[in-house]
Amino acid sequence: MIANSHDLEHPMDKYLRTDRLPHVWCPGCGIGTVLSCYLHAVDNLGLDKDKLVMVSGIGCTGRAAGYVDMDSFHTTHGRAIPFAIGLKAMKPELNVTVFSGDGDLFAIGGNHIIHAARRNADINVICINNYNYGMTGGQLAPTTPETAYTTTSPYGNIEPPFNLVGLMAVSGAVYVARWTSIHVRRLTKSIEEALEKRGFCFIEVLAPCPTAFGRRNEMRDPVESLKYFKEQAIVKNFVNPLEATIEPNKKFYVGKFVDLEEEMTFEDRLWLMTSEEFLKAPSKKRKEMILGVRRHVKEHMEVLLHTPEPTEEGGKGEGV
């Protein structure tokens, strides 16, 4: 027996600023689970934490950058992506992950993320979708499902939500996946893939928000929310992302939607532009050198128009 709980060291403590724990997130909040999955993925890959950077914006999820013991940015609202792109452009050896919420990335930062995907910036984006603005008291977000109750939609939401994976896939992301916070193992594997992949990788994670969203939508208990996710989620890879919408009390797809081969990234083109070879080349040659951009978009459309047959993932089991 160990006498004092302060003597116990959690295996992930080496990546955490333990003096700041326990963190601010509510009991049962999914953000802690996703952070745990991210740290497990880093641990499984054996990455050097001096080469990892976490960038996050404002909101509940934005607090994550303050808890990890690696270089991290807690940026202005919605601007996590521009910070991350700038960082990656100047320090290509770093592995940059944007860890932020749906409100930060898709409401105030909506333009930044679609353009980062279009440029194929070499960053990983983990977007935690809890269906509402949790930190400010549970207001309507662009991801709130139709008919859901929030503080600013007391009669039920009348607007259709964004389909985040569909939006990212058509914008040009090379890796698009969606999981929920109950699918911890598959989420960890997905984060591992994203960390190793070049180009713009996007992972949406549906997470319960028991305090702000669940309380008004009959999911006050985090256990109930997770059971709902487990029942409603259909695990399938390479479903057409445009069909993977989230509707209230209906089944939704989780899995990997897009996984394209290595492409020329934004940073590659940026460094190409400053290379001597490029500057000295005649204009016709320069055009050829930049054409990676067009190939990227064309291949992308082909994938979306002729999606491969959906594949079932895993056995029956627990489905997590």
Helical ranges in the chain per DSSP H:
30-45, 80-90, 102, 110-119, 164-171, 184-196, 222-232, 266-273, 276-280, 283-290, 292-305
Q: Verify binding: residue 3, other proteins, rule CB under 8 A.
A: yes
* CA–CA distance, 51 with 71 (Å, rounded to integer): 8
On the 0-12 / 13-18 / 19+ scale of CB atoms within 10 A, 291 is exposed
Q: How far is the CB of 72 from other proteins (least distance, A)?
A: 17
Q: How far is the CB of 43 from other proteins (least distance, A)?
A: 11
- Does 29 help bind other proteins (rule: CB under 8 A)? yes
- Which listed range, 19-27, 75-83, 169-177, 279-287, lies at the site for other proteins (CB under 8 A)? 19-27
Does 107 contact other proteins by CB under 8 A?
no
Structural Rg of the chain based on CA atoms: 20
Dig out the tokens for 68 from the structure: 């990890």
182 binds other proteins (CB under 8 A): yes
Binding-residue pattern over the window 217 to 246 for other proteins, x denoting contact by CB under 8 A? -----xx--xx-------------------
Q: Binding of other proteins at residue 33 (CB under 8 A)?
A: yes
Q: Is 190 in the site for other proteins (CB under 8 A)?
A: no
Q: Give which of 248, 269, 251, 136 is closest to 198, Cα–Cα.
A: 269
- Give me the least distance between CB of 24 and other proteins, in Å please: 11
21 near other proteins, rule: CB under 8 A: yes
Q: Which one, 24 or 301, has the nearer CB to other proteins?
A: 24
What's the rounded Cα separation, in Å, for the pair 179 and 301?
A: 24
> What secondary structure does DSSP assign to 65-91, as a single string?
GGTBSSEEEE-STT-HHHHHHHHHHH-
Which of 268, 308, 275, 307 has its CA nearest to residue 291? 268
Q: Does 40 bind other proteins (CB under 8 A)?
A: yes
Q: By CB under 8 A, what part of segment 281-320 binds other proteins? A: 318, 320
By CB under 8 A, name the binding residues for other proteins: 1-8, 10-13, 16, 21-23, 25-33, 35-37, 40, 181-182, 184-185, 188, 222-223, 226-227, 318, 320
